[in-house]
């Protein structure tokens, strides 16, 4: 069970309170009704699935109930940073 720093609760909480919510920084196209099949595929299905630094969404569903973002290393499972939804992607280097 991971320990996750919730940027809204401002403390680390056990993973049991959280729900993972997929890759972060994939914005729903503003003009979604007009995009091509390829663009829709990229938006909805294609995932970077990196070995190393991933930007991902979590929801503190059994806590403050907020969605937020995290930068985590998928090899060590270590969190590098968590930050509020809507904040820009931070510049970070993966741990390897």
Partner 1 sequence: MKKYSAFAIAREALRGNTGWPEQWSSPEPKKSYDVIIIGGGGHGLGTAYYLAREHGITNVAVLEKGWLGGGNTGRNTTIIRSNYLYDESAALYNHAIKLWAGLSQDLNYNVMYSARGVMMLAHNVHDVQVFKRHIHANRLNGVDNEWLTPEQAKRYCPPLEISRDARYPVVGAALQRRGGTARHDAVAWGYARAASDRGVDIIQNCEVTGIRRGPDGAITGVETTRGPIKARKVGVVAAGHSSVLMQMADVQVPLESFPLQALVSEPVKPVFPCVVMSNSVHAYISQSDKGELVIGAGTDQYTSYSQTGSLSILQHTLEAICELFPMFTRMKMLRSWGGIVDVTPDRSPILAKTPVKGLYVNCGWGTGGFKATPGSAHVFAHTIARDEPHPINASYTLERFRTGRLIDEAAAAAVAH
Partner 2 sequence: MTQPFRLPGVGRLDAGKPLAFTFDGKSYTGREGDTLASALLANGVHLVGRSFKYHRPRGFLSAGPEEPNALVGIHRDAARKTPNVRATVQELYDGLAAVSQNRWPSLAFDIGAISDLNAPLFSAGFYYKTFKWPRAAWDRLYEPAIRRAAGLGNAPDKPDPDHYANRFAHCDVLVIGAGPAGLAAALAACETGARVILADEQPVPGGRLRFEADARIEGKSGWDWAEETVARLAARDNVRVLTRTTGFGYYAQNMIGLVERVTDHLANPDPNAPRERLWQVRAKRVVLATGAIERHMVFPDNDRPGIMLASSARTYLNHFGVAVGNRIAVYAAEDSAYAAAIDLKKHGVGIAAIIDSRAAPESPAVEEARALGIDVLAGHAVIGTDGRLRVRRVHVAPISGGPHREFQVDALLTSSGWTPAVHLFSQSRGKLAFDEATQRFLPGLYVQDAVSVGSCNGTFDLASSVNEAFDAGAKVAKEAGFRKPRARQMEASSGTPWSIGMAGASPGVEPGTSKMAFVDFQNDVTAKDIRQAVREGMRSIEHVKRFTTTGMATDQGKTSNLHGLAIASQMLGKPIPEVGLTTFRPPYTPVTFGALVGHSRGRLFEPTRRTPTHDWAKAQGAVFEDVGQWKRARYFPQVGEDMHAAVARESRTVRETAGIFDASTLGKIEVVGPDAARFMELMYTNPWAKLGVGRCRYGIMLREDGFIYDDGVVGRIAEDRFHVTTTTGGAPRVLHHMEDYLQTEFPDLKVWLTSTSEQWAVIAVQGPRSREIIAPFVEGIDISDEAMPHMSVREGRVCGVPARLFRISFTGERGFEINVPADYGLSVWKSIWAEGQKHGACAYGTETMHVLRAEKGFIIVGQETDGTVTPDDAGLSWAIGRKKADFVGIRGLRRPDLVAEGRKQLVGLKTVDPQIVLDEGAQIVADPDQPVPMKMIGHVTSSYWSSNCGRSIALALIENGRARMGERLYVPMPDEMVEAEVTSTIFFDEKGERLHG
Partner 3 sequence: MAETARRTFALEGRSYDGDGISLAPAGPASRISLRAPAESLAALSEALGLDLPVRPKASARKNARAALWLGPDEWLVIDEGGADLMAICARVAALHSAVDISHRNLAILVSGRRVEDVLNAACPQDLSVARFPVGAASRTVFGKAEIVLWRIGEDAFHVECWRSFADYVFGLLDAAGREAVR
Taking CB under 8 A as the criterion, the residue among 32, 46, 65, 92 binding partner 3 is: 65
**Contact, 24 vs 56, CB < 8 A?**
yes
Count the residues of the shown chain that bind partner 1, applying the rule CB under 8 A.
28
Residues ≥6 apart with Cβ < 8 Å to 78: 72, 95
Which helix (DSSP H) or strand (DSSP E) does residue 37 occupy?
A: helix 37-44
Residue 46 engages partner 1 in binding (rule: CB under 8 A)? yes
Which range binds partner 3 by CB under 8 A, 21-29, 39-47, 61-69, 86-94? Answer: 61-69
Taking CB under 8 A as the criterion, the residue among 25, 46, 53, 63 binding partner 3 is: 63
């Amino acid at each position: 069970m991971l320990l996750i720093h919730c940027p809204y609760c401002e403390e680390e909480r056990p993973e049991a309170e959280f729900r993972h919510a997929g890759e972060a920084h994939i914005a729903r196209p503003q003009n979604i009704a007009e995009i091509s099949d390829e663009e829709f595929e990229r938006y909805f299905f294609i995932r970077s699935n990196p070995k190393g630094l991933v930007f991902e969404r979590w929801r503190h569903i059994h806590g403050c109930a907020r969605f937020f973002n995290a930068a985590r290393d998928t090899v060590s499972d270590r969190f590098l940073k968590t930050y509020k939804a809507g904040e820009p992607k931070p510049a970070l280097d993966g741990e390897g």
